[in-house]
Amino acid sequence: MIASEHDCHTCAVARGVSRREFVSQATLAAVAAVLAGCGSAGSDTALGPGVLPKPPVISTPMIVTLANFPALATVGGVARVSSQPAIALARTASGLVGYSLECTHAGTTVELRSDFTLRCPNHGAEFAFDGTWTGGQQQTSSLFSVTVTPDASGETVTVTT
C-alpha cells in the first residue's frame, strides 16, 4: 500500500530500502489497514471502542399483547416488540422465545428481513428467526435471550431479563 508519494518503491530504493523490505513493509501496512476496517471485537462498535455488548436489561417487565403482532401466530414468525431496548419475539415449535436485537459482535441493532431472518448491517453477521447465529460475514454468538412468560389467558406475555 502506498500511503504517500514518498512511500513509493522508487523513493524507498533511493533511501536504501531493498525491494524485499519495501514489499514486506507494504504488505504489513496493507494487512494493518484491512484489520482496522474489519471490525474485530471491540474495535469498531456501535457502543464505542472497546465496549462489548452485554445482555439487555429490562428494568420494568414488558407486557406484550400478542394480537398486536400477527407474525407471532405462526411458527417461524418474528416481531420486534420493543425499540428501547430493541427486543424481538419469535414463535418456535415449542413456544415463544425472545432476544435482544443488539448484535453480539459489536452492538449494532440487527435488521429483521421479510423472511424472518436477521442480518447485522455493520459487519454482516446473520441470525436465524430464533436469534441463533448462522454465519454471514462476521463470526459472533447468538443474540442475547430474554425471558418470555405467557399469562394464563395466552393473550399477553411478560418479557423480562
Return residues touching ligand FES (CB under 6 A): 39, 103, 105-106, 108, 120, 122-125, 138, 140
Pairwise CA distance, residues 26 & 23, whole Å: 5
Q: How far is the CB of 39 from ligand FES (least distance, A)?
A: 5
Q: What's the distance, Cα to Cα, between the start and end of the chain in Å? A: 48
Q: How far is the CB of 143 from ligand FES (least distance, A)?
A: 10
CB 131 within 8 A of CB 97: yes
Q: How far is the CB of 105 from ligand FES (least distance, A)?
A: 3
Query: Of 120 and 148, which has the nearer Cβ to ligand FES?
Result: 120
Query: Of 102 and 130, which has the nearer Cβ to ligand FES?
Result: 102
Q: How far is the CB of 91 from ligand FES (least distance, A)?
A: 24
Query: Of 70 and 124, which has the nearer Cβ to ligand FES?
Result: 124
3-state secondary structure of 115: coil
CB 49 within 8 A of CB 43: yes
Query: Of 82 and 140, which has the nearer Cβ to ligand FES?
Result: 140
**Residue 6: burial class (beta carbons within 10 Å; 0-12, 13-18, 19+):** exposed
Picking from 73, 102, 96, the residue whose alpha carbon sits closest to that of residue 148 is: 96
